[in-house]
């Protein structure tokens, strides 16, 4: 009986070994990544023209208002001192928030921040077009500039992410830059034509309509990126100092022509801004020192994490003593 059972077991094993083997399948994850890359490759031209057109309208909104200052001031009854803010409200927030917007794009996703910027830009462009007072116009323009600031750095990041290093990326950034120059010229011509025909309000209404259209297209042509696993970290102190410093410098440049570069109204702003920027640079350098010192202590000197922490503790205590004396 034992021999019969052993013989039957051998036959079963032999028969199972002769069964046809299923071909090895490609892992689902790698196939999914290939599909994503294929779709991203097809959508790259559309993505480039969406982000470039967004920058085009950002610049149009800055250039066109320089031609429309007088009609806007007359319609909304701006005072002499308020006229300066027709142009500067947008310029200051636009330029001042570029650094912060780029960092937020790194943390929360360039696609998300770009689309948020388009939406914010469109909403406040509409509000600007229906302004009934100088304060409403100035505040709306400042908020519109925040949306424009959100689109520029994230647009550049989207190009860098979707185009490989080399001639393709260089060409993409050249097209992106050309749209900016085209926006400056078009803004002036567009403002002149619209003011002479249907009114300055349509400068902003056309921009709002275009931004909403670009937002809808963005949902289709800007590929989703995988969510980040690490928790976003924001250097709030660095972000505040950089934003205040850049905004203050832009304000000084914008108002210096009107009030004078050395007047009592502009010099304090300039002094504060440069001090804040120097503080930002100092903090950034210190963070670099901390990082590289940590690497040297643990990789070169083979210190343990506890010993490294104690080394930094001594540094902190000495700093407290020095600042206490000062």
Cβ count near 103 (within 10 Å): 18
Q: Are residues 123 and 240 in the same domain?
A: no
Greatest mean pLDDT among 187-196, 248-257, 278-287 lies in 187-196
List, in sequence order, the alpha helices (H) in 163-230. Answer: 167-197, 201-221
In terms of residue numbers, what domain contains 311? 235-326
**Residue 283 maps to a domain:** yes
Distance in angstroms (rounded) separating the CA atoms of residues 240 and 246: 10
Q: Are residues 169 and 315 in the same domain?
A: no
Last residue of one domain, picked from the residues 179, 198, 223? 223
Per the CB < 8 A criterion, the answer to whether 110 and 157 are in contact is yes
**Could you read off the pLDDT of 31-49 as tens digits, one per residue?**
555 666 666 677 889 999 9
**Residue 253 maps to a domain:** yes
Q: Are residues 133 and 272 in the same domain?
A: no
Distance in angstroms (rounded) separating the CA atoms of residues 308 and 289: 14
Q: Are residues 206 and 241 in the same domain?
A: no
Q: Are residues 191 and 259 in the same domain?
A: no
Q: Which tops the pLDDT comparison, 222 or 17? A: 222
pTM: 0.69
Per the CB < 8 A criterion, the answer to whether 204 and 129 are in contact is yes
Q: Are residues 71 and 166 in the same domain?
A: yes
Q: Are residues 304 and 178 in the same domain?
A: no
Residue 197 belongs to a domain with what CATH number?
1.20.1250.20
Q: Are residues 58 and 206 in the same domain?
A: yes
pLDDT value, residue 175: 92
List, in sequence order, the alpha helices (H) in the chain. Answer: 2-17, 28-76, 84-96, 98-108, 110-129, 134-162, 167-197, 201-221, 236-259, 267-295, 305-325
Residues 6+ apart with CB under 8 A from 32: none
**Residue 24 maps to a domain:** no
**Residue 36 maps to a domain:** no
Residues 6+ apart with CB under 8 A from 262: none
Q: Are residues 267 and 191 in the same domain?
A: no
Q: Are residues 133 and 49 in the same domain?
A: yes
pLDDT value, residue 91: 85
**Residue 160 maps to a domain:** yes
3-state secondary structure of 228: coil
Residue 14 has pLDDT above 90, yes or no: no
Per the CB < 8 A criterion, the answer to whether 208 and 126 are in contact is yes
Distance in angstroms (rounded) separating the CA atoms of residues 109 and 40: 16
Per-residue confidence at 323, pLDDT binned at 50, 70, 90? very low
Last residue of one domain, picked from the residues 223, 245, 261? 223
Q: Are residues 218 and 275 in the same domain?
A: no
Mean pLDDT within 246-269? 73
Last residue of one domain, picked from the residues 179, 200, 223? 223
Residue 279 has pLDDT above 80, yes or no: no
Per-residue confidence at 257, pLDDT binned at 50, 70, 90? low
**Residue 228 maps to a domain:** no
**Residue 18 maps to a domain:** no
Q: Are residues 178 and 55 in the same domain?
A: yes
Per-residue confidence at 17, pLDDT binned at 50, 70, 90? very low
**Could you read off the pLDDT of 131-175 as tens digits, one per residue?**
999 999 999 999 999 999 999 999 999 999 899 888 999 999 999
pLDDT value, residue 138: 93
pLDDT value, residue 202: 94
Q: Return the structure tokens found at 319.
A: 């700093």
**Could you read off the pLDDT of 185-208 as tens digits, one per residue?**
888 888 888 888 899 999 999 999
Q: Return the structure tokens found at 140.
A: 């709306």
Residue 285 has pLDDT above 60, yes or no: no
Q: Return the structure tokens found at 196.
A: 């002479």
Residue 60 has pLDDT above 60, yes or no: yes
How many domains is the chain built from?
A: 2
């Amino acid at each position: 009986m034992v021999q019969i059972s052993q013989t039957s077991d051998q036959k079963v094993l032999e028969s199972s070994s002769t069964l046809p083997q299923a071909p090895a399948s490609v892992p689902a994850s790698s196939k999914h990544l290939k599909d994503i890359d294929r779709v991203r490759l097809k959508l790259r031209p559309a993505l480039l023209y969406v982000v470039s057109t967004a920058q085009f309208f950002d610049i149009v909104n800055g250039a066109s208002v320089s031609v429309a200052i007088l009609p806007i001031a007359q319609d909304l009854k701006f005072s002499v001192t308020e006229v300066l803010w027709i142009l500067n409200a947008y310029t200051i927030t636009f330029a001042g928030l570029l650094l912060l917007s780029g960092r937020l794009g790194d943390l929360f996703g360039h696609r998300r921040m770009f689309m948020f910027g388009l939406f914010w830009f469109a909403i406040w462009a509409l509000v600007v077009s229906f302004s009934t007072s100088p304060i409403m116009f100035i505040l709306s323009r400042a908020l519109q500039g925040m949306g424009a600031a959100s689109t520029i750095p994230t647009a550049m990041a989207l190009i860098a992410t979707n185009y490989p290093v080399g001639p393709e990326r260089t060409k993409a950034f050249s097209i992106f830059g050309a749209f900016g120059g085209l926006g400056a010229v078009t803004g002036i011509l567009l403002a002149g034509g619209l003011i002479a025909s249907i009114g300055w309000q349509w400068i902003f209404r056309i921009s709002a309509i275009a931004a909403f259209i670009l937002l809808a297209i963005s949902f289709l042509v800007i590929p989703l990126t995988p969510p980040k696993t690490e928790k976003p970290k924001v250097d709030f102190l660095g972000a505040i100092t950089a934003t205040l410093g850049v905004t203050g410098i832009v304000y000084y440049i914008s108002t210096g022509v009107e009030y004078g570069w050395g007047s009592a109204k502009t010099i304090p702003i300039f002094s504060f801004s440069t001090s804040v920027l120097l503080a930002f640079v100092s903090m950034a350098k210190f963070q670099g020192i901390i990082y590289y010192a940590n690497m040297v202590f643990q990789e070169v000197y083979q210190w343990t994490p506890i010993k490294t922490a104690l080394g930094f503790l001594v540094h902190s205590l000495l700093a407290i003593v020095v600042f206490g004396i000062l």
